[in-house]
Amino acid sequence: MKGVASRGRAIRRTSMVTSFLDVTGESGVHCPEDPSCNPRSDARPGSGGAPAGALPSGAMSRRVAVVGLVAYLAVLASLTLGASPGAAFTAVAQQARTIEGLAWVRAGDVERTANVLVFIPLGLLLCYALPRVPRFLVWLLCVGLSLAVEAAQVALPGRRPTPIDVVTNSTGAAIGVILALLLGGIGRLRARRREGPQRVREQ
């Protein structure tokens, strides 16, 4: 009788553990009694249970991306709506011309390069902050922000909005979105490689 009671307790403990794993999503088998029950129906095959369209959490969490985005926007506002950085561009161009082979660099070249670089983080961070928004729409948001900045500069003394600024900003945002796509692809590839040996062991 003691042996039967011990086996009964062991079976109950196993059942409780299995139920817990099913609820938390850690078990590979879910609701075997009810075929219609599929807690992970929104998962994409091969994505390790991540919702379709979501970026891998290993690269950057959404919370980190949102915090980084807020900090970035504060810096962007100071750069684009504050005093004109024209003197800084001129100084950088003069310094660049002292390097052999860069005698052609002018302040305008430095400004256009800066306009591209400053919008790369925007495209990248927005992709992680808005993981379910299509990447093309993320890029359009960046373009819209650039247009808003140029419109605001109309009323600012010492600022001269130009269409080329929107073009260079949009180029930088596109680079940021592409980087997010590349990082997402690398993360998913690594996740699949980690899942492969686990599936073999489970089988």
Tokens of 189: 């590839």
The amino acid that residue 65 corresponds to is A
Task: Give residue 46's pLDDT band: very low, low, confident or very high (50, 70, 90).
Answer: very low
- Specify the higher pLDDT residue, 139 or 13: 139
- Of 141, 120, 131, 134, the C-alpha closest to 65 is 131
pLDDT tens, position by position, 164-184:
999 999 999 999 999 999 998
- Please compute the mean of the pLDDT values over residues 152-161 and round it to a whole number: 89
Is the alpha carbon torsion for 10, 15, 16, 22 positive or negative? positive
User: Could you tell me the residue ranges of all domains in the chain?
Assistant: 62-194
Q: How far apart are CA 89 and CA 97, in angstroms?
A: 12
- Of 155, 173, 162, the C-alpha closest to 118 is 173
Contacts for 1 with CB less than 8 Å, ≥ 6 apart: none
